[in-house]
Structure 1
Amino acid sequence: MLQLPSPSNPSPSKELIVRHGRQLTGQSTLLALGLYHTCAYVTSSALLKCWGFNNYGQLGDGTTITRSTPTTINVGGAVGLLALGWYHTCAYVTNSALLKCWGFNSNGQLGDSTTTNRYTPTTINVGGAVGLLALGYLHTCAYVTASTLLKCWGYNNYGQLGDSTTTTRYTPTTINVGGAVGLLALGEYHTCAYVTTGALLKCWGWNAFGQLGLGHTADRTTPITINVGGAVGLLALGDRHTCAYVIDSALLKCWGRNNNGQLGDGTTTNRNTPITINVGGAVGLLALGGSHTCAYVTSSALLKCWGYNYYGQLGDGTTINRYTPTTTINVGGAVGLLALGYYHTCAYVTAGTLLKCLGWNYYGQLGDGTTTNRISPTLLHSALFPKTFVQK
């Protein structure tokens, strides 16, 4: 168990458990944020770049040196999927059809059958080509397309792997979700998958704050169907909250912990069932962080963020928490990629092919060459990312 580093306590210790949520959707597979590190795949040069906190080798450059500017990581080829956990990183290399993971491995979350930290990308055998990939605090899941199997591994004390046990797994373990998986996301100790067979959203794992959406706070060790009112188009999990975008009704639904207004319903009341959040239109991108949430509203081409804002991670020029999605974040154009870390946020602005990041920067996770927090979107040095990202 790890204590969350902070400006007054920069070194992790083995006590308190906290977690950033990730946030990967089918629309944001080439930009990913971990607890205090960031990675992006530069399609024009076919290079994976990572920066930020690196005490466990999560950057993958063979060192434990923290980096405040992007560093090139050798994964052996073009990257098709990218996901970051608290202190570990995974990338799917398309030309070799190999899943590679590196970083912290205390509970087998890398999936190489050991608990040895890895400082460079290590090949993980999942049994075939990977179509979806998501990382939590200490667990990892990948959807193997050829066999249509969901596989998960790592820490499992809350049943977050979904194999009906609480046994930690050091290699990929098949999880029965009842059909083909279309969306996949992991939180601190909970997991959700959208099963296209039957159009069902299923969640499992830790549920102390109602983050499974079942109407109670009991943990589940197997996938349980969640009623969100229709087919799901976007899915994201945060620290201890969950959001899903329902296509048919064009409604954003969120549930779970709400101590900092991260659900966006104007309160700080936890919700154990999905509630509708008014973002003002159809949502095209969705990402959740530790205790903050962002959604890109396509109809108005506006980025909206809400929740915890102590480090300026909402990007509205203040450090004031926001309890509803009323604040529009000015990133300078249409957003093509969106990802949230624990206390930082990054968005890729397609019009100018610019990556902009904001929030806490103690470990250089914003990648601007400093350790200065930013309360409004800050452009990464253009020389590092000239004409960089192209959305898949």
Structure 2
Amino acid sequence: MKKTITLFFIFLSLQNYAQCWQTVSSGSDHTLALKTDGTLWAWGDNGSGELGDGTTVDKNMPVQIGTANDWQKISAGHNFSLAIKTDGTLWAWGFNSWGQLGNGANTRQISPVKIGTATDWQSISASRGTTGGHCIALKTNGTLWAWGRNSLGQLGDNTLVDKNQPIQIGVDTDWRLIATGGNHSLAIKTTGALWAWGWNGTHQLGDGTNINKLVPTQVGTATNWQSINGAYTHNLGIKTDGTLWTWGFGPEGKLGLGTVSIAEVPTQVGSSNDWAKAIAGINHSVALKSNGTLWSWGKNESGELGFGTNSTTNIVVPTQVSTNADKTLISAGESFTQIMNSDGFLYATGLNTVGQLGDGTNANKNTLTPIVCTALAVNEFKSMQVKAYPNPVRELLHLSYEQEITMVSIYNLLGQEVYNKSVQADEATLDLSALSPGTYLVKVTSADNAQTLKIVKQ
């Protein structure tokens, strides 16, 4: 009976972790995420305040940003961040040299600041890539807006002048979906037609030329575009028939067209018609099929493709990552990838030098590594009586408690017990050197209480 109750509580703890994440957005080297309770979390590079926690210190684990629980949409760019709240207000923070925060200034902000007074913002897209510094957005009335860097016409206002406040682009009210590349922009209208503008030096606009466009320009004549996503020099799109298309420049194989490295116009990838989502990283690509399977291709030097290897040999066609068919959301940064499954578990793989994966380490990963969603906020953890240090831990984990500890049990994220120790003292030292690197739940039991903590084993 006691074992059944213990497993039941561990199951509840895992369910709490599993159902925690709602969505994630990968910037160049940082990550934003929303929990199902509407709170905002961030990790990774923070040199420009792009995490929004009031500091410029990198974080390799998720940290809560403020205390608000009404965040709705997020977009992580290159050293800056955007978000929309449920009341339709727009917020921004981070690097701001080109006015990409839209607050009328060009100085960085290390905490979220409200942009203007409008309450009808619907969707946002922040540009990534080393020179990315512009934003585009849609309002609920179908109008298109842009601000930030404009040296290559990426705002679409027929000028090359940066804007540090949102400006409306044209007068059309039938815009449906938007995406930014490094220095270009993409959009789909309610008619299903595809439009692009900005830098076109590597054919990323898909119009058959390499001439920059200063205003939105229709790409081809197709009217069945369903979704689009852009990176620095290439783009991915899915049509309503489930076919996958790519265009731009991709010598790393990120176009998915085999040895073909340039596509001047949208070109179909393979012949499958069951693609559901596609995301362009800077030098790699990831996609989901309608059956929930994950596929990736392109550069893999940092393990960003998730195949369990790091290789200078590029993967030039979409290749299935695993046999699991439970993936529902994908996001890609400069050299890392993040995946969410149907249970709300978040996984990451790839470059991790500034903690952009969020697993509590700064070591690169080449397989999908779970990013545990802590059940409590940071300030709540501080008030707990059980103390565990160091965390992350390499070998010895020290526990202390105001009451006598009777038993310590450690579980992996599948709910399997991997360690236990009888203690009978208010302090304990655990030798965890035999545990594999990863995230674990530590259940500390006393005579009349039990607490479950999260630790990261390096």
TM-score, reference length from structure 1: 0.86
1:310-355 CA distance string (max 9 Å, x none): 1010101122320000x2112844112110000010010114x310
The answer to whether residue 170 in structure 2 is matched with residue 182 in structure 1 is no
Which residue of 203, 207, 210 corresponds with 2:200? 207
Which residue of 87, 102, 109 corresponds with 2:100? 109
Q: 1:331 and 1:242 mapped to 2: Cα distance? A: 26
Q: 1:220 and 1:75 mapped to 2: Cα distance? A: 42
Q: 2:25 and 2:230 mapped to 1: Cα distance? A: 13
The answer to whether residue 259 in structure 2 is matched with residue 264 in structure 1 is no
Q: 2:325 and 2:221 mapped to 1: Cα distance? A: 31
The code of the aligned residue for 2:367 comes to S
The answer to whether residue 133 in structure 2 is matched with residue 145 in structure 1 is no
1:229-262 CA distance string (max 9 Å, x none): 3311111001111111111x32111000111011
Structure whose residues are more often helix by fraction: 2
The answer to whether residue 329 in structure 2 is matched with residue 337 in structure 1 is yes
Task: Check conservation: 1:52, 1:68, Cα contact below 8 A.
Answer: yes
Q: 1:177 and 1:252 mapped to 2: Cα distance? A: 31
Task: Check conservation: 2:121, 2:138, Cα contact below 8 A.
Answer: yes
Q: 1:264 to 1:177 in 2, by over 3 A?
A: farther
1:32-74 CA distance string (max 9 Å, x none): 000110111001x321110000000000000001000000012
Q: SS state of the match for residue 372, structure 1?
A: coil
Q: 1:31 to 1:218 in 2, by over 3 A?
A: same
Task: Check conservation: 2:194, 2:223, Cα contact below 8 A.
Answer: no
Q: Offset of 1:126 from its aligned partner?
A: 6.7
In the TM superposition, 1:142-291 aligns within 5 A as 142-146=137-141, 148-176=142-170, 178-196=172-190, 198-227=191-220, 229-247=222-240, 249-278=241-270, 280-291=272-283
The code of the aligned residue for 1:158 comes to L
Which residue of 289, 313, 317 corresponds with 1:324? 317
Q: Offset of 1:127 from its aligned partner?
A: 3.2
Task: Check conservation: 1:236, 1:288, Cα contact below 8 A.
Answer: yes
Q: Offset of 1:269 from its aligned partner?
A: 2.0
In the TM superposition, 1:1-150 aligns within 5 A as 30-43=23-36, 45-74=37-66, 76-94=68-86, 96-125=87-116, 127-136=118-127, 137-146=132-141, 148-150=142-144
The match for 1:13 is: none
The code of the aligned residue for 1:215 comes to G
RCO higher in structure (CA 8 A, sep ≥6): 1
Q: 1:382 to 1:164 in 2, by over 3 A?
A: closer
Q: 2:172 and 2:23 mapped to 1: Cα distance? A: 28
Q: 1:112 and 1:224 mapped to 2: Cα distance? A: 28
Q: 1:218 to 1:75 in 2, by over 3 A?
A: farther
Which residue of 347, 360, 363 corresponds with 1:356? 347
Q: 1:284 to 1:126 in 2, by over 3 A?
A: farther
Which residue of 296, 300, 309 corresponds with 2:288? 296
Q: 1:341 to 1:131 in 2, by over 3 A?
A: same
The code of the aligned residue for 1:350 comes to S
Q: SS state of the match for residue 33, structure 2?
A: strand
Q: Offset of 1:381 from its aligned partner?
A: 2.9
The code of the aligned residue for 2:280 comes to L
In the TM superposition, 1:371-390 aligns within 5 A as 371-381=362-372, 383=374
The match for 1:25 is: none
| Fraction of identical pairs, as percent | 30
State the superposition RMSD in angstroms: 1.9
Task: Check conservation: 1:330, 1:377, Cα contact below 8 A.
Answer: no
May I ask how many residue pairs the two structures share in their alignment? 351
Q: 1:179 to 1:382 in 2, by over 3 A?
A: closer
Task: Check conservation: 1:132, 1:142, Cα contact below 8 A.
Answer: yes
Task: Check conservation: 2:345, 2:372, Cα contact below 8 A.
Answer: no
The code of the aligned residue for 1:173 comes to I
Q: 1:169 to 1:229 in 2, by over 3 A?
A: same
Task: Check conservation: 1:316, 1:376, Cα contact below 8 A.
Answer: yes
Task: Check conservation: 2:143, 2:172, Cα contact below 8 A.
Answer: no
Task: Check conservation: 2:151, 2:160, Cα contact below 8 A.
Answer: yes
Instruction: Pick the structure with greater CA Rg.
Output: 2
The code of the aligned residue for 1:191 comes to S
Gapped regions of structure 2 (runs ≥ 5): 1-20, 377-412, 414-458
